[in-house]
Amino acid sequence: MPRSYLVQGVRTPFGRYGGALAGVRPDDLAAQIISELVRRTGVDPSALDEVVLGAANQAGEDNRNVARMATLLAGLPFEVPGHTVNRLCGSGLTAVVTACQAVESGAADLVVAGGVESMTRAPWVMAKPSRAWQFPTETHETSLGWRFVNPHMVGLDEGAATISMGETAENVAALDGITREQSDRFALQSHQRAVAARDSLAEEIVPVHVDGEVVEIDETPRSDATLEALARLRPAFRRDGIVTPGSSSSLSDGASAILIASEAALDRYGLEPAARFVGAANAGVRPSYMGLGPVASTRRLFDRLGWSVADLATVELNEAFAPQALACISRLGLDPATVNPEGGAIALGHPLGASGSRIAWALARRLASSGPGERGLATLCVGVGQGMSVAMEAC
């Protein structure tokens, strides 16, 4: 069976909601990283078989197949096709897996895979009137969360299928007995690790020019974060809860992309791979405990591969919320020291469509600096109750 390899990855800095990247359209963010990825790898753009991007919103400037729009805006030949996938928070990782599976099926040799999201520029939407002269009455802000909920969904999962993602994190915290102090300490660690890793992350970041300024670093990691400051924040989702803005991933803007190649393409274009794609698995869980998705998908993946947690040299676990991440680490028996050593989404931000491809490349990059055969895991939870996990090996 053909194998697929992660060759090179790039991303924009991740900007805070309404922050440094607020003036840049998502299709332009994606176009910049596609163009830079092609430039850095030196591949002939006409050799690309496909561009696959994840995007969770697709309600505004990222509508009508943002992957194809970004491919054209990047100046790639008209003949290079593109398609967009949506698995909410798992969209970028789904794009990576789609590309790897296309290569391993023999359907492609070179694919750009990634994701993009501008949560700042997500529009307000309104329901279309059902009859003439009727005024629209239902409007929604689309940056995050539910809109136009199917009434039949409301009664599912004991009436909790449509609660906010923050409330699902509170459910997980209560189920596993996670305390406010544990949650805050995890959030602090994420910021400390991200700040410490800023120089090592610089190589993968593509500077973005905005109104005469250059955005070169992630906007949300805080060097001044303290446990005392985090403890002063009020719960964001329940009055007696433990999840605060400080222990939640932030609404963010950004894009990321990876070049995926076959063995034949590696030889043909003189490319050096960082890691080999080994396998992937998805799993569903109760929507009201969405954050436990990585537990189910990782167990399913390891059952297929015959792997165990003891095999892992490093792990990327998307930090939707601190208690959610803590519960997954505990339930899977992961070594906390190996999980997100460069910080996670609590510090770096979580532009939904781009986060999965960010963690995929972070994992591949670290594996590239380890010994051949070292194994790693990238995993995340997904809204409406899913988990997604990807296994890789160092080349």
Q: For the whole prediction, is pTM greater than 0.85? A: yes
Contacts of 320 (CB under 8 A, 6+ apart): 89, 165, 169, 248, 249, 291, 345, 350, 380, 381
The single-letter code of the amino acid at 103 is: V
Would you state the structure tokens that stand for residue 11, as one six-digit string?
Answer: 């991303």
Strand partners, 21: none
Of residues 317, 356, 318, the one with CA closest to residue 87 = 356
Tens digit of each residue's pLDDT, the chain (395 residues): 899 999 999 999 999 999 999 999 999 999 999 999 999 999 999 999 999 999 999 999 999 999 999 999 999 999 999 999 999 999 999 999 999 999 999 999 999 999 999 999 999 999 988 888 888 788 999 998 888 999 999 889 999 999 999 999 999 999 999 999 999 999 999 999 999 999 989 999 999 999 999 999 999 999 999 999 999 999 999 999 999 999 999 999 999 999 999 999 999 999 999 999 999 999 999 999 999 999 999 999 999 999 999 999 999 999 999 999 999 999 999 999 999 999 999 999 999 999 999 999 999 999 999 889 999 999 999 999 999 999 999 99
DSSP 18: T
Instruction: Please count the other Cβ atoms lying within 10 Å of the Cβ belonging to residue 139.
Output: 10
Q: Which residues are catalytic?
A: 89, 350, 381
Q: What is the DSSP string of 316-370?
A: EE--SBHHHHHHHHHHHT--GGGB-TT--HHHH---HHHHHHHHHHHHHHHHHTS
CA distance 250 to 319: 10
Q: What is the DSSP string of 164-178?
A: -HHHHHHHHHHHHT-
